Amino acid sequence: MQTPSPLRFAAVLLGAALLLNSCKNDDFLNVDSKSAVTEVSAYSSETNADLVVNDIYNNLASSSNDSNQNLEQYSDNGFCAAGWQTAQTVVRAGAISPANVPNGPNGMWAWETSYTRIRKCNLFLQNVEKYSANFSASWKTQRVGEVRFLRALYYTYLFTSYGGVPLIDKPLDSTTDPEGLFVVRSTIDQTVAFIVADCDAAAASLPATAARKGDGRATKGAALTLKGWAQLFAASPLANPGGDAAKWRAAAAANKQVMDLNTYSLFPDFAALFMQENNDNQEVIFNKEYIAVTAGQSKEGTYGPVNVNGVTQGWGNYAPTQSLVDDYLMSNGLPITNPASGYDPQNPYLNREKRFYQSILYDGARGREILLLPALGATTRLT
């Protein structure tokens, strides 16, 4: 057998070394994914980071194209005509259990969904500090204020549904801190305090009015209103069975702050309040914006009259109950239960307050040249 020469052996070693060295310089093989945005890219500029904020806004609850009912249909103010909807099969049937708690419009009651939204807020707040050098001070101040408002709103969804909840103010990581995933449930007072702190911080950072109508961005008034709403709920008998008057005073003071802004006032025409041409009017404090005619027409199908000119058009799920109808006052400002009101049970829709005619479709009502005859047959009908 031939013995390898030292020269040949050295050549083999050199070749192996060159091969190993070439493997170390293979960065050209590390190609960034074209289907994902990296953290560095997302926070590389204000324009990119705005897309992150927009996604958080996009998680706002909305009833457009949502099969869940309007909140009133879970109450005694509205009736759900479709027997297969949650309001009938679960709520009115008294069949709510831990396994079938309604998610509410756009998942606003869903535990996991809400915490997914909160995590998005926490990630933004963490990363906007991490990449702070990429942003101007004014942009950072406003966007942090907006996201803290949104985090408070998503916590308010949970609070008004479940009372005290686990309070998480940073992104949790199961790989680096698995024990940190187990966050104890906070009390009602602690939860409200957390929401109030976020609202106060947001109000201090946000402008009194939006820079441009139609953007749907949070303002100082939105933050203060959310604070007042959460404190009012916390003062109510449901969350305050002991009747602590200090909680009522705190809610009153927060809502007085909104009034003192002198930014909002009632829109003069209640019937036209929700028309597209009156979007972002002086009564609107905060709303979710849509590009015109892009959100679909599920509301018309879900809530509209069942029968229009002999053709089935909807489910009729926006039906007020008689108790709600009876709550409307007479034109003289007196309730129908007052003998001096002039209410006539045989002619119950005569001389009612203006809001009644602007919001209740009743038998014989006329609107836009359409006669409403809801009492004919078993379903709502327009003819």
Residue 99 has pLDDT above 50, yes or no: yes
Low-confidence winner among 80-94, 237-251, 252-266, 303-317 (lowest mean pLDDT): 303-317
- Sequence-separated (6 or more) residues with CB below 8 Å from residue 251: 228, 231, 232, 234, 235
Burial of 174 (0-12, 13-18, 19+ CB in 10 A): exposed
pLDDT level of residue 82 (50, 70, 90 thresholds): confident
Residues in the chain: 383
Please give the mean pLDDT across all residues of the chain.
Answer: 84
Residue 126 has pLDDT above 80, yes or no: yes
Tens digits of per-residue pLDDT, 307-324? 777 787 777 777 888 999
pLDDT level of residue 133 (50, 70, 90 thresholds): very high
Per-residue model confidence (pLDDT) at position 45: 96
Distance in angstroms (rounded) separating the CA atoms of residues 240 and 368? 46
Per-residue model confidence (pLDDT) at position 348: 95
Amino acid identity, residue 137?
A
Per-residue model confidence (pLDDT) at position 365: 79
Distance in angstroms (rounded) separating the CA atoms of residues 359 and 72? 14
Per-residue model confidence (pLDDT) at position 369: 46
Tens digits of per-residue pLDDT, 214-245? 888 999 999 999 999 999 999 999 999 999 99
Average pLDDT over residues 351-369: 81
Tens digits of per-residue pLDDT, 288-347? 887 776 665 566 677 777 777 778 777 777 788 899 999 999 999 999 999 999 999 999
Of the chain, the percentage scoring pLDDT greater than 90 comes to: 51
Burial of 262 (0-12, 13-18, 19+ CB in 10 A): exposed
Q: What Å distances lie between residue 301 and 65, 71, 281, 305, 312, CA to CA? A: 10, 17, 27, 8, 10
Pair of tokens at residue 273: 């309040």
pLDDT level of residue 352 (50, 70, 90 thresholds): very high
CB of 209 closer than 8 Å to CB of 263: yes
Per-residue model confidence (pLDDT) at position 361: 82
Taking the CA of residue 178 as centre, how many other CA atoms within 13 Å lie in the half-sphere pointing to its CB? Answer: 1
Which has the closest alpha carbon to 92: 115, 65, 72, 114? 72
Amino acid identity, residue 221?
G
Residue 8 has pLDDT above 70, yes or no: no
Pinpoint the alpha helices (H) of 25-175.
39-42, 46-57, 86, 111-130, 137-162
Residue 9 has pLDDT above 50, yes or no: no
Distance in angstroms (rounded) separating the CA atoms of residues 277 and 265? 18
Per-residue model confidence (pLDDT) at position 295: 63
Q: What is the DSSP annotation of 98-118? A: TT-----GGGTT-HHHHHHHH
Per-residue model confidence (pLDDT) at position 160: 93
Pair of tokens at residue 346: 């045989």
Taking the CA of residue 75 as centre, how many other CA atoms within 13 Å lie in the half-sphere pointing to its CB? Answer: 9
